[in-house]
Copies of this chain bind each other. A is one copy, B any other.
Amino acid sequence: MIRRLSQARERGIPEATVARLPLYLRALNGMAERGLATVSSEDLAVAAGVNSAKLRKDLSHLGSYGTRGVGYDVEYLIYQISRELGLTQDWAVAIVGVGNLGRALANYGGFVSRGFRVAALLDADPEVVGDHIAGLSVEHIDELEAVIRRRGVSIVVLATPAAAAQQVADRVIAAGVTSILNFAPVVLAVPEGVDIRKVDLSIELQILAFHEQRKTDRMTGGPAMAEEWPEAVDL
């Protein structure tokens, strides 16, 4: 029986599933706070905003933790998902680039709570170095490698200007970090084995604008059916 479970979990959870686990975890935490002991896939799916079959399939990748006819034990599922995501240990995060965004991130309490700890703030600007933010003193970028080593930093958040991001990423990777969350609007080139995730406000807005345009086009009849666009367009 343990055999069957091991098989189910066979090295490798689909990427799409991994991306949803934090969502389930958040919904479950809400339920735990409200004192629910068990939850059905249907209810949890609604809370997480997904289809219940998808939810069950996702959870089945971790093992067989539900009880047919009953549902899932909330606390136990929280534990299993947390463990799968690696949230049972805590992760030291460094923020590089302490400007508008870097400060907001440093002051943000929301992620300190769940396994992540801001362990260092780094910046190149002598004006900024030494500032105290969220209980930390901003250190100089020259200290990067030393800080990463000393504090056991394993995840770096990049909040520098775009022009500096690649160069900082190179140093961070050379120092042994393999997980980077990048806010700078550049495509970072990184060696195999380094995970980059990017958050790009400007892209999100452009995607929204695209759909918004479609919606209003539809309203106003849109571009004519014939004569889709001008024969030639000068710039």
Residues of A within 8 A of B (CB): 2, 5-6, 9, 18-19, 21-23, 25-27, 47-49, 63, 75-76, 79, 84-87, 89, 91, 93, 100-101, 103-105, 107-108, 110-111, 114-116, 154-155, 178-181, 185, 187, 189, 193, 195, 197, 199-213, 215, 227-229, 231, 233, 235
Closest CB in chain B relative to A160 CB, distance in Å:
13
Q: Given the interface contacts A22-B202, A22-B207, A206-B22, does A155 sit within 8 Å of B101 by beta carbon?
A: no
Within the oligomer, what is the number of copies of this chain?
A: 2
Query: A212 and B195: CB pair below 8 A?
Result: yes
Query: A213 and B86: CB pair below 8 A?
Result: yes
Q: Given the interface contacts A18-B210, A76-B235, does A201 sit within 8 Å of B105 by beta carbon?
A: yes
Q: What separation, in Å, do the CA atoms of A116 and B204 have in the docked complex?
A: 12
Closest CB in chain B relative to A41 CB, distance in Å:
16
Select the residue from A18, A179, A206, A210 with max chain B CB neighbours within 10 A: A206
Which single member of B115, B211, B213 contacts A209 (CB below 8 Å)? B115
